[in-house]
Each structure stands twice: as C-alpha cells, then as structure tokens.
Amino acid sequence: MATRTDAPTRREQILKEAARLFAERGFHGVGVDEIGAAVGISGPGLYRHFAGKDAMLAELLVGISGQLLTGAKRRLSEAEADGGVGAGVVLDSLIEGHIDFALDDRPLITLHDRELDRLRDSDRKMVRQLQRQYVELWVGVVRQVYPGLGEPAARSAVHSVFGLLNSTPHLGRAGALAGRGAVAELLHRMARGAFAAAEG
C-alpha cells in the first residue's frame, strides 16, 4: 500500500468535507457556504477549485466507482499472477477490499448509492458503467466459487451482498463491536455465508 505522506491539497480537503456533508444531509441539503466554512474559506471561494457544486459531487462519485473497480481489477490480476490460487481466495480478496472501503470511507459509500441521480447525464452514465463493470467482475468470480448459481441469481446475490457490506454506516451507533477487525471479520463471514446460501 502506497501511503500518502504529503499534506492534502486544498482540493482534496474540499472533497473530503463535501463528501461528509453530502452524506450527512444530502446533496440538496448542503449549501456551498457550509462546504466552504468546513475548510475555512467562504462559499464563493470554492469556485477557484471547482466549476460548481455539481462538479464536486461528480468528482466524488466517479472517483469512488473508479477506485472500487481499479482495486478489484488489481486483486484479480494479482491472483492470476499467483497461478494456483483458487477462485475462493480471489473472492475473499474482493470481499476484503470492499469491506476496507466500506469501513474507511463511510461517507463515500453512503453517497455512492444515494446521490447518483443528482449527476449530469454524462457523468451518471460514466459512474453507472464503472459500477456495472465492478458488479460483472464480482459475478464472474462468484459463479466460479458457487457454480450452482445462474447468472441472474448471481447478479442479484452480488447486489444484496453489497447491501450487506455497505451497512457499515448503520453500525456505528450503539453497542459497536470490539473493534474494526472484529467488524470486518463478521462482515466477511456473513458475506460468504450469504453467497453459499444463495447457491442453496
């Protein structure tokens, strides 16, 4: 993992705070003045970095979808390079990657399936295409591990498991588990169990 050590740019600060605010109160529920205030500048100052409020959301959503897909592709090709690893190992790697994302970037996960319709047509098409590729990649691996699943059932199962893994924002409140590791383990086991049961 290539950990960033340099300070975040102003653009990155803005994106991070905008993601948090959008996740908390919805895209239309947040004003540009609030986003500006969250990074210590005033509303119109944001326009030195972004073309508009829409552009911030677009960059966030395209970034998320791209990052998920890129990570999944990397994991898949690493597995192929390893030669002998079974499909089950690849699936475990995909699950782990998705869980890492869901736990580390909860606001983004929230935005990802909540504010897609607020995008311009072209941006929305791009995001949907990235999402579709991501799903299809999962479907392929899942069907290798659970050959009993037909394609439509596998696709439904994948969407449902995403719903399961993306429940992390709801987990924070109340009696949380021991720690991050325990939550990740639990989610991983449940995802596997759900797929296995889907095969029936």
Partner DNA sequence: CCTTCAGGTTAACGACCGCTAACCTCCCTG
Partner DNA sequence: CAGGGAGGTTAGCGGTCGTTAACCTGAAGG
Binding positions for DNA, rule: CB under 7 A: 10, 28, 30-33, 36, 40-45, 47-49, 52-54
Q: In three state form, how does the secondary structure of 80-134 look?
A: HHCCCCCHHHHHHHHHHHHHHHHHHCHHHHHHHCCCHHHCCHHHHHHHHHHHHHH
Assess 35 for contact with its own copies (CB under 8 A): no
From the list 109, 96, 105, 106, the residue with the least C-alpha distance to 185 is 96
Judged by beta carbon distances under 5 to 8 A according to partner kind, the member of its own copies, DNA, none in contact with residue 161 is its own copies
The nearest distance, CB 176 to DNA, in angstroms, is: 32
The nearest distance, CB 32 to DNA, in angstroms, is: 4
- Residues numbered 171 to 190 that lie near its own copies (CB under 8 A) are 171, 174-178, 182-183, 186-187, 189-190
Find all residues with CB under 8 Å of 153, minimum gap 6, and list them: 198
Assess 49 for contact with its own copies (CB under 8 A): no
Tell me 148's DSSP state: T
From the list 110, 111, 98, the residue with the least C-alpha distance to 142 is 98
Judged by beta carbon distances under 5 to 8 A according to partner kind, the member of DNA, its own copies, none in contact with residue 198 is its own copies
The nearest distance, CB 1 to its own copies, in angstroms, is: 26
Please select the residue that binds its own copies; options are 170, 179, 180, 184, rule is CB under 8 A.
170
* CB 180 within 8 Å of CB 103: yes
Please select the residue that binds its own copies; options are 26, 45, 97, 140, rule is CB under 8 A.
26
The nearest distance, CB 37 to its own copies, in angstroms, is: 19
Task: Please name the amino acid found at residue 54.
Answer: D
Q: Rounded CA gap, 113 and 95, in Å? A: 18
Q: Rounded CA gap, 45 and 58, in Å? A: 19
Judged by beta carbon distances under 5 to 8 A according to partner kind, the member of DNA, its own copies, none in contact with residue 32 is DNA
Q: Which residues bind its own copies (CB under 8 A)?
A: 24-29, 113-115, 117-118, 151-153, 155-157, 159-167, 170-171, 174-178, 182-183, 186-187, 189-198, 200
